[in-house]
Amino acid sequence: MAPKHDPDVWLFDLDNTLYPARCNLFAQIDVRIGRYISDWLKVDAEEARRVQKAYWRDHGTSMRGMMTLHGVDPTHYLDYVHDIDYSPVEANPALEASLKALPGRKIIFTAGDVPHAERVMERLGVAHHFEAIFDIAAGDYWPKPHKQIYDKLVTKHGVDPTRAAMADDIAVNLKPASDMGMRTVWIRTDESVKRAAELNLDHIHHQTDDLATWLADWVAQRSAKT
């Protein structure tokens, strides 16, 4: 059941949520992760790939595995893997208009780091709408959907979960938000739909494949009621 109150705080995932999945920035990041592991462990590309996927499976992220097992500095890791070409991300006037019309506070909640988020938002032309970025470092380098980072975010930014909404392309990342009382918006992509195939999606209140349009429709519906 969706929360009864309209949100006064909106939490937005970054990658494949605020910008479309077709930009495929992660393909570039994925290559950089493999190279980092290969260089650090002094193994070939095939072994690096095996390690990358094993650490992602066992530790939540490849970075967490490298930190835990090999003492990697997460800042060094993130600087390296985000050294990519951001030109596939284009300005999005529709998203800009929707965010401008959307009432309430807006916060980025990302598994990337602040510099990555800032570069993406600069490309999109929407940075001025967000009061804060809660990134992987703010969450002590634990990724979503670890419950403790949701608790840390709402405490740090004074968010009442029952008056908040969260948008993310990964359905499982919305489960802790829903459990806390947030409204949830699932951004469907080909990949996220495949990943959610075996999930119970009762925690999803809304879903869309176009965030800007969904937000505009949300604002219009609320305006019509007042």
| 160 occurs within a structural domain | yes
| 2 occurs within a structural domain | no
- Residues 33 and 125 reside in one and the same domain: no
State residue 225's pLDDT score.
Answer: 74
Give Cα separations from 94 to 38, 198, 212 (angstroms).
41, 33, 6
Q: Domain count of the chain?
A: 2
Worst-scoring range by mean pLDDT, 124-128, 157-161, 197-201?
197-201
Q: Which of 60, 81, 102 is a domain's end point?
A: 81
Residue 161 has pLDDT above 60, yes or no: yes
- Residues 97 and 68 reside in one and the same domain: no
- Residues 110 and 218 reside in one and the same domain: yes
pLDDT tens per residue across span 57-69: 999 899 999 999 9
Report the 10 Å Cβ neighbour count for 82: 19
Mean pLDDT of the chain: 95
| 3 occurs within a structural domain | no
- Residues 62 and 145 reside in one and the same domain: no
| 57 occurs within a structural domain | yes
- Residues 101 and 209 reside in one and the same domain: yes
- Residues 15 and 114 reside in one and the same domain: yes
| 1 occurs within a structural domain | no
Q: With helix as H, strand as E and coil as C, how does the chain read? A: CCCCCCCCEEEECCCCCCCCHHHCHHHHHHHHHHHHHHHHHCCCHHHHHHHHHHHHHHHCCHHHHHHHHHCCCHHHHHHHHCCCCCCCCCCCHHHHHHHHHCCCEEEEECCCCHHHHHHHHHHHCCHHHCCEEECCCCCCCCCCCCHHHHHHHHHHCCCCHHHEEEEECCHHHHHHHHHCCCEEEEECCHHHHHHCCCCCCCCCCEEECCHHHHHHHHHHHHHHHC
- Residues 138 and 170 reside in one and the same domain: yes
Nearest-angstrom CA–CA distance, 27 and 225: 43
Q: Identify the domain containing residue 57 by its residue range.
A: 25-81
- Residues 74 and 140 reside in one and the same domain: no
- Residues 29 and 15 reside in one and the same domain: no
Q: Is the pLDDT higher at 221 or at 156?
A: 156
Nearest-angstrom CA–CA distance, 181 and 219: 21
The CATH number of the domain holding residue 211 is 3.40.50.1000
Q: Which of 54, 81, 108 is a domain's end point?
A: 81
Residue 168 has pLDDT above 80, yes or no: yes
State residue 211's pLDDT score.
Answer: 97
- Residues 100 and 137 reside in one and the same domain: yes
* pTM of this structure: 0.94
| 86 occurs within a structural domain | no
| 71 occurs within a structural domain | yes
- Residues 14 and 54 reside in one and the same domain: no
Backbone angles phi, psi at 91, to 5 degrees: -55, 140
Which tokens belong to 210? 């176009």
pLDDT band at 222 (very low <50, low <70, confident <90, very high): confident
| 47 occurs within a structural domain | yes
- Residues 123 and 13 reside in one and the same domain: yes
Q: Which of 63, 81, 99 is a domain's end point?
A: 81
The CATH number of the domain holding residue 64 is 1.10.150.450
Residue 5 has pLDDT above 90, yes or no: no
